């Protein structure tokens, strides 16, 4: 016999179970996305210890195969540490154009099942399939299984899916089903599912918060759920009460289908701190091509260009410039960023990291375009679009602007790496 949906004194009032059952929320998360795409393109990499990132000491891991993860390698780990843990790992330089193209195909698959898709990044999204449940006469987990099958068949990669009545429970479920899994948490099982997990599984509970909770004897979500409100408010403030609500499965957020990316950028940490302007300009040019390619892949143009510098003492500054016309051209981005760099004058100390970002994004189809009487702008755009296609097919670095090679040589390769496109 089903337990009545009546809260205990220490339990916040929840939405009735029949209302939760009518909602189908999916969190779809691709498995080691960058690596998976590379393995699709290069089958010889399958089953190998693969790291996507730049093979420089100060670079970080962007993605790692599950074979590499067995050595404790994870995203955002310094490359130097990753290669110490797994010296025979195969390091593959990223191809962001390709990843964004695959991401666009992935979002199209989602759109075939529901209009309520909320992308979180290039490789994960929330889907509300409640309407599809009624339209197709299929349970949410059946729709999730169909989506997994489509992704494997159409894209040649795998995904893990969590199914629940709320967004945050679906996200926890997808993480616990990896890789290539499907985990369903029914509304009536939500509290039991959550209460068996460590408190760190909740959103917003990071390392420092876990230390505070541990001093209170709170180690599991169940411990948190049964902690008096006054104790949590005194120790954590309002976020503590919010976390307690989550511990009982309370999450009223709806899937928001329109979520435009606010900026697109790229940055590089040098292998050795840089003082030479030529080296900084060369890196800016390369970053401009990376950012422009990503802008074009998403069909957007940037109205504002942002330059970021991090010095050897880790202090960071940024400067921005608003363009008269939004752009997706590397040449325009580079020109604006170079002017920002020159305006800074002499630098107080060597540069550790440089970054370039496009902000105030607009749909490229509706954005005005800079006119040119001698068609130089059209020629540049045609060349950059050709570079996109070559990079997508053969990998980044097969073709690069001649000026980038010249600036690299002028810089004397001060970052200790061969030039990249």
Q: 175-207 pLDDT, tens per residue? A: 999 999 999 999 899 999 999 999 999 877 888
197 with 311, same domain: the answer is: no
Residue 213 falls inside a structural domain: yes
Q: How far apart are CA 375 and CA 105, in angstroms?
A: 33
Give the CATH number for residue 225.
1.10.150.20
Tell me what pLDDT residue 400 has: 54
* Cα torsion through 369, 375, 376, 381, rounded to 10: 50
Phi, psi torsion values for 329, nearest 5 degrees: -95, 130
Q: Give the pLDDT of residue 17.
A: 52
CA atoms of 389 and 97, how far apart (whole Å): 9
The candidate with the shortest Cα–Cα distance to 322, out of 356, 360, 352, is 360
Q: Using CA atoms, how far apart are residues 65 and 277, in angstroms rounded to an integer?
A: 37
Can you tell me which residue has the tokens 């964004």? 100
Q: How many domains does the chain have?
A: 2
- What stretches of 299-375 show up as alpha helix (H) in DSSP? 330-343
Q: Are residues 301 and 380 in the same domain?
A: yes
Q: Which residues pair with 306 in a beta bridge?
A: 320, 357
397 falls within a domain:
yes
Owning domain of residue 240: 193-247
For residues 383 and 351, state if they share a domain.
Answer: yes
What are the pLDDT digits (tens) for 94-141?
998 899 899 999 999 999 999 999 998 889 999 999 987 777 778 999
Residue 328 domain flag: yes
pLDDT in tens, 142-186: 999 999 999 999 999 999 999 999 999 999 999 999 999 999 999
CATH number of the domain residue 279 falls in: 3.30.1490.100
**Mean pLDDT throughout 224-247?**
90
- Closest by CA to 52, choosing from 63, 41, 44, is 63
Q: What is the mean pLDDT of residues 240-266?
A: 85
Say if residue 223 carries a ligand binding annotation.
Answer: no
**Are 352 and 216 members of one domain?**
no
Q: What's the pLDDT at 1?
A: 41
Contacts 24+ apart (CB under 8 A), 313-318: 313/349, 314/352, 316/353
Whole-angstrom Cα distance, residue 139 to residue 67?
A: 34
Q: Is 318 inside any structural domain?
A: yes
Q: Does 225 share its domain with 350? A: no
Question: Could you read off the pLDDT of 30-41 as tens digits, one per residue?
Answer: 999 999 999 999
Note the pLDDT of residue 51: 97
Do 353 and 237 fall into the same domain? no
276-314 per-position pLDDT tens digit:
999 999 999 999 999 999 999 888 899 999 999 999 888
**Torsion on CA atoms 308, 377, 98, 76, rounded to nearest 10:** 0
**Angle at CA of residue 257, ends 333 and 29, nearest 5°:** 85
The pLDDT > 70 percentage for the chain reads 80
Residues 217 and 321 in one domain: no
| Interacting residues of 15 by C-beta distance below 8 A, sequence separation 6+ | none
- Confirm whether residue 29 is marked as ligand binding: yes
Helix (H) or strand (E) holding 308: strand 300-311
Evaluate if residue 368 carries a pLDDT over 50: no
Is position 57 within any domain?
no
- For residues 227 and 351, membership in a common domain is answered with no
Same domain, 284 and 395: yes
Residues 358 and 295 in one domain: yes
12-26, 289-303, 339-353, 388-402, range with the lowest pLDDT: 388-402
Instruction: Give yes or no: residues 406 and 271 share one domain.
Output: yes
Which H or E element spans position 155?
A: helix 140-155
Q: Any bridge partners for residue 300, and if so which?
A: 363
In a domain, 227, yes or no: yes
Q: Would you please indicate which residues are annotated as catalytic (active-site) residues?
A: 124
Residue 314: what pLDDT? 80
Do 232 and 355 fall into the same domain?
A: no
In a domain, 215, yes or no: yes
Peptide bond before residue 67 is cis, with ω within 30 degrees of 0: no
Q: Residue 82 falls within a domain, yes or no?
A: no
């Amino acid at each position: 016999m089903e337990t009545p949906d009546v809260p205990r004194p220490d339990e916040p009032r929840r939405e009735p179970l029949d209302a939760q059952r009518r909602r189908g929320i999916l969190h779809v998360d691709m498995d080691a996305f960058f690596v998976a795409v590379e393995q699709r393109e290069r089958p010889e990499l399958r089953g190998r210890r693969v790291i996507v990132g730049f093979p420089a000491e100060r670079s970080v891991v962007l993605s790692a195969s599950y074979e590499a993860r067995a050595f404790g390698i994870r995203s955002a780990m310094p490359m130097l540490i990753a290669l110490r843990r797994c010296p025979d790992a195969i390091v593959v330089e990223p191809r962001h154009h390709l990843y964004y193209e695959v991401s666009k195909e992935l979002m199209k698959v989602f759109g075939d099942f529901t209009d309520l898709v909320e992308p979180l990044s290039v490789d994960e999204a929330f889907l509300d399939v409640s309407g599809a449940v009624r339209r197709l006469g299929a349970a949410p987990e059946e729709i999730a299984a169909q989506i997994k099958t489509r992704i494997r068949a159409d894209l040649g990669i795998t995904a893990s899916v969590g199914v629940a009545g709320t967004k945050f429970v679906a996200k926890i479920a997808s993480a616990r089903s990896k890789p290539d899994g499907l985990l369903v948490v029914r509304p009536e099982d939500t509290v039991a599912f959550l209460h068996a997990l460590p408190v760190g599984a909740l959103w917003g509970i990071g390392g420092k918060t876990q230390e505070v909770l541990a001093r209170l004897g709170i180690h599991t979500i169940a411990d948190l759920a049964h902690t008096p409100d006054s104790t949590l408010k005194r120790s954590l403030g309002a976020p503590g009460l919010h976390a307690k609500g989550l511990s009982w499965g309370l999450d009223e957020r709806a899937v928001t289908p329109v979520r435009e990316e606010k900026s697109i950028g790229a940055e590089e940490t040098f292998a050795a701190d840089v003082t030479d302007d030529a080296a900084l300009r060369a890196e800016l040019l390369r970053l401009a091509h990376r950012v422009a390619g990503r802008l074009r892949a998403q069909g957007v143009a940037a109205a504002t260009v942002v330059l970021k510098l991090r010095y050897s003492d880790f202090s960071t500054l940024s400067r921005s410039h608003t363009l008269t016309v939004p752009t997706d051209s590397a040449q325009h981005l580079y020109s604006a960023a170079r002017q920002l760099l020159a305006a800074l004058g002499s630098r107080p100390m060597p540069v550790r990291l440089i970054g370039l970002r496009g902000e105030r994004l607009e749909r490229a189809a509706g954005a005005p375009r800079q006119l040119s009487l001698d068609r130089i702008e059209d020629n540049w755009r045609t060349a950059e679009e050709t570079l996109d296609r070559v990079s997508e097919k053969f990998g980044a670095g097969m073709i690069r602007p001649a000026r980038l090679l010249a600036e690299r040589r002028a810089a004397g390769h001060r970052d200790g790496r061969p030039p990249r496109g």
